[in-house]
Chain A
Amino acid sequence: MSARTWALSEDLTTAWVVVVVAVGVLSLAVLSWELGRLDRRRGWVAIIGMLATLTLGGAVLRPVSIETHGSVVGARVVVLVDGSRRLLLPLAGETSRRDAALEAVAALREHFDSARLTLLEFGDDRLEPFTAAAETGAARSPRMLDSDLVTAIRHLGDQSVERPQAIVVVSDGRLTRPGEDLEGEPLSTILGGLDVPIHTVAITHETPADSSILRVDTAGAVVAHQPFELRVEVACVGGLRCGTIPVRVRELRLGADPVELASGRAEPTSEPVEVALSIALERAGARVLEVALDPPHGDTISDNNRRYIAFDVARDRIRLLHVAGRPSYDARALRMWLKGDESVDLVAFFILRSDFDDTQADESELALIPFPVDELFTQHLPSFDAVILQDIDAVTSKLARHLSTLARYVETGGGLIMVGGPSAFSGGQYAGTELERVLPVTLPEARQYFDATDFVPRYSTAGRTTPILRALRDLLGDELPSLPGANLLGPARSQAMVLWEHPLLSAAKAPMPVLALGEAGDGRAIALAVDGTHRLGFGKLASDVGGRSYGAAWDGLLGWLMRDPRYEPARIRLAKPCIADEPMSLEVVSAPGMSGAVEVSVDQLGTAASDSRTVRAEGAKTGTVAVPIPPLGPGGYVARARVGASPPMRFEFACERAGGTFADVRPDVARLRRIAEATRGVAVGLDGVRGLPQPTNVRVAAERHVAPWLPAWIWSAAAATLLGLYWFARRRGGLT
């Protein structure tokens, strides 16, 4: 295909061209007016004047001829295929909505055979090429959780490539955005940025018979110990007779079977119904709940009958139980520090009298109440975030019978601090008990329970790097006060971290732990084998820093016990939402100063027999390490990460097969129709692809020749000559 055309000089703007033409026309008009005033005709003056004006204009504008050679190509058409996992929903027979989408793509290829098709998948916050592999190979499964058409259109507009002449959306219509209520002008505004018609292809009209959890949410923040309303919306569609559907909520804990928190009944009709369940979570931090319904007979999709949801449970106040075996300066210091913290709700019991004490008074003259040990450790224990056992004998205080309960409390998420003294650890008859199992140290059963020699604890390598003691080290450096003896402990457990160690005593050929901490099941425990930490707040060393060192140490210990992020050695997060049975990765972000190999172990929640998967990765100087995790099944999980020699930290998360994408299984053909109407497009079904309008082909120039009509010097010489003649003719004709 060839074409010939012309143009004016390309180095002059349109404005200058207009000015030149205007000046030329004006000069001719003046000449005409002048000639009209003469009594004789002077036609030759007019002819020479016109020629002079034209050649002068030509010299300025320098017209050129353009000859182009090119071809006509098909119009660019973008096909946006819904990449949401919702398209895995089955259709009649052995097919799925994804198969229908592939069929639509094949039909579009055939229909737009003369157009240039760009096939893209949309869903989350990105556009991905829809490749041949996606149509036929292993990547047949969509991996996105959303169907965000608005973001997809915006991304198309941001691309610096040829604008398409038409967009074709292949979907079931159940889009995340635009919302189902939008139509007309607002819809046109949102999607019409490209000013391109959007055609839609509905891949199905078929609603499967299904009951589902449509939505799970809460009225506000979830706070530990405080009841909140969990709203579960249940739908019943596709002509299924649902009747009454039982709904139950269970908490998934580590190393234990799921704990049922609430249950209710839903009676959905043609409209979804909401079931409000009042539940309370006793532990702060991330908690994974399982919300499930018992489907009626005939339910065709099982994956939307159960949701696994990770809740971030906030803490209003830390509720602590402080039990001291006897009053002492150490118990006093800890109590005063805890009472001084407005965020702590403290319940304290000090054993002020033993069976051997002679009070010299009648009971009515004493301000003593019985230690409600049975009531505390049977009824109220779950309401506490942590328990502090300070120098208390398990047997004489009648605590021994509750040690297994206390151990289970820790393993299901509670915190425990055992503070030293003559009646702590082995001296308190805890060795060989259930509680020893959750302590970060082993307890020797030797006859000697403590060493009374004054000593200065020594920081371990982990103690020097951990954020837990950073504030204390900022105040005192490596210095610590001399402490009056220590409980004799065995070696630390394999997953425990020793922060302080004894400079002289050893346990299993390693320095004896003095301060150790570790995870125990779902909870955490701290062993502090001295009863003199009050010297961090009172004494010569403490006076140099205004006594702040005591609070700095206990802030860190309690903060770590309560999983305060400030004291964690790292943060763990999901690189992207966890999809069951698909490869995933966790990102471990180390705190400043932390380095070393990263070890991540993953355990399933809600099962007594957990299958731990451990993955190691090398630490990076940037502080962020991506750790690939093998595919996990649907459920709740806890990941524990250790960076170098730091104490472990944990992160609870949920894996679902489809998340909320399977919640509403109804196709939304009406929405696709509204989108087409709002953008001057055409809405069709699978069988109507041939009815989509063909866009106009595009002419593409391949070769272009530009040649001036005359060389510039000829224009200039002609203009100069004719202007001279014009001047002469005007004089001869009587014009000045």
Chain B
Amino acid sequence: MNARTRARVARATRWGRVLSAASRRDILEPFLADHLAEMGEAGELPPSFEREALRLVFGAFGEDRRRALRDASWRHLLGATVLATLASLITESPLSQKAAVVVGAVLGVTVASAGRRASDTLGRLAPAAFLAAFGLLAAFGLESEGRRAWLSLGGLPIQPATLLLPLVLLVPARPGPRIVTTVAAVALFLLGDRVAGAAMLLVWAPAPVRGAPLVATMLFAPLALGDALPLVTTSGSATVALLLTSALLRPGDPRATA
């Protein structure tokens, strides 16, 4: 095993410990141990590692996925996002956008599990945060293929609108915050951050919901649909996510709060 592979294994091991502590240790630990041991012998992870990782985490929710997703705890989703991020980091594949999406999911799950008071405060700040993201991208965004969706933070590319996306769930259902959010969404869309721009329009959903199911569907739908995210796919993802969420949340569910 060469030094580079050793360093990658060591980094993956550290992430694995965090991951194991955060989620189903009994399932995730042997998965990582086996993959890392095989990686040590072969020098690289199998190309399907990321897909397996995501299937593993969703499979860990249980056999009945519809019910399982509805009942998923934020710890499982945290595990999923960390695992997906880990997968993209250690395989060094061009998945930085996906990584940003899943990191956004971590934020979303954290927000979803926050107390009512913290949620209200974040919700009031969300429209301003979206506008700030637009401003930062317009001023300092990295231009790539005519799009400005990324900022460089000490050399590390981040996608601010995607990271902030889960805050959409907390925007108060009043005209003012919704209009500000929509303006920011359109501006971000025009700048090239189509995923975030389209998904932020969920602020107009008839019954604003908060909680893990929406975060999961909204953020994992584009993730599942692949790298290329043209307009139709992005809009379709947001629509599918909205429909899925409506189907998953029962009337009267405490997480479906107006």
A and B interact: no
Interface residues of A (CB under 8 A from B): none
Interface residues of B (CB under 8 A from A): none
